[in-house]
Structure 1
């Protein structure tokens, strides 16, 4: 059926484009694929251009000729468009937190997440040794992952020496913060995870 209503079918357009893309990616001609699939070149051309509909048996033979599974033909159909937030290196919003001192930089890596924030990821850099450090208390759970340097970090009565690759997870309503900068520059990810009722 040429240029009929079926040519407007999004599934047929999707399948046609997918078959053409796979065929070209594998360096195959319409003649080669149609011969392997046991259909005419004209039929394969119409399928690729969404000018005709076809049954599952023919699609299965085309998939075999392309060397892929049937599921491969459909895997990206009707997938939500998505809307991930990309923050490029160095473009995180710099924020000032309570107790922040010179040499302590906080970059918020994701924001505008809706009326109720579920998490806040920060990239924290410390490159200026200081005699006093801020102490933080806030709702939720905090997850720290060390990237550079060595730091002694306090949570309540306990202190922990963190090296690159180390992680520390704790309840954030207990007083916490840097105790001692051992090797600079220091950089770590700090992710606040909020539960129901943690934030308005």
Structure 2
């Protein structure tokens, strides 16, 4: 609760006042000395603008931080059907039930279209440069620098036509641990 309050830059006294409880009660709640009622938790959650379930999450076990200085991401060279697609892993989060993998993907001049990627999770793509005709399942769309896509990655997807080079984009893959 203290972390949630700090995130919105609110004092314990201000939170107590807005939630309609005493400052001493707020202090005892934050120190784990009392177990507040659901009604009190609901009032506090409303003031903090968070779901009440947030107070029951184990935040300590779910904290990861990945810092990758510019140009220092892990380079991954693909030699299969996506040869010429250069991946730079920009970090990763593996804690809890969610895996997050952000990649900077750059297509070399010899890269070929590859519209048949398919894997578990949700993918977010943000085009940095270039223009492609992108396939998602049975749909195609023109995607250019500044455009973004967000989709379920279980469907076949990928660049079907490489229209304008150089092509680079951020790709973030979110996968739940089974």
- TM-score higher than 0.5: yes
How far apart are residue 179 of structure 1 and its match? 0.4
Secondary structure of 1:165's aligned partner: coil
The answer as to whether partners of 1:147 and 1:164 remain within 8 angstroms in 2 is yes
Does the alignment pair 1:100 with 2:82?
A: yes
Deviations 1:32-53 (A, max 9, x none): xxxxxxxxxxxxxxxxxxxxxx
Q: Quick one: which of 119, 135, 146 aligns to 1:138? A: 119
Does the alignment pair 1:153 with 2:134?
A: yes
How far apart are residue 152 of structure 1 and its match? 1.1
The answer as to whether partners of 1:124 and 1:187 remain within 8 angstroms in 2 is yes
Q: Greater strand percent: which structure?
A: 2
How far apart are residue 151 of structure 1 and its match? 1.1
The answer as to whether partners of 1:99 and 1:135 remain within 8 angstroms in 2 is no
How far apart are residue 113 of structure 1 and its match? 3.3
Alignment of 1:50-129 (within 5 A): 84-97=65-78, 99-101=81-83, 103-111=84-92, 113-114=94-95, 118-129=99-110
Does the alignment pair 1:163 with 2:152?
A: no
CA distance in 1, matches of 2:71, 2:139: 33
- Output the TM-score relative to the length of structure 2: 0.57
Aligned length: 116
* Larger radius of gyration between Structure 1 and Structure 2: 1
The answer as to whether partners of 1:108 and 1:122 remain within 8 angstroms in 2 is yes
- Unaligned runs of 5+ residues in structure 2 are 1-59
The answer as to whether partners of 2:126 and 2:147 remain within 8 angstroms in 1 is yes
**Could you list the runs of 4 or more consecutive aligned residues of structure 1 that deviate by over 4 angstroms after TM superposition?**
114-117, 129-132
CA distance in 2, matches of 1:168, 1:175: 14
Q: RMSD of the alignment, in Å?
A: 2.5
- Unaligned runs of 5+ residues in structure 1 are 1-79
Secondary structure of 1:99's aligned partner: coil
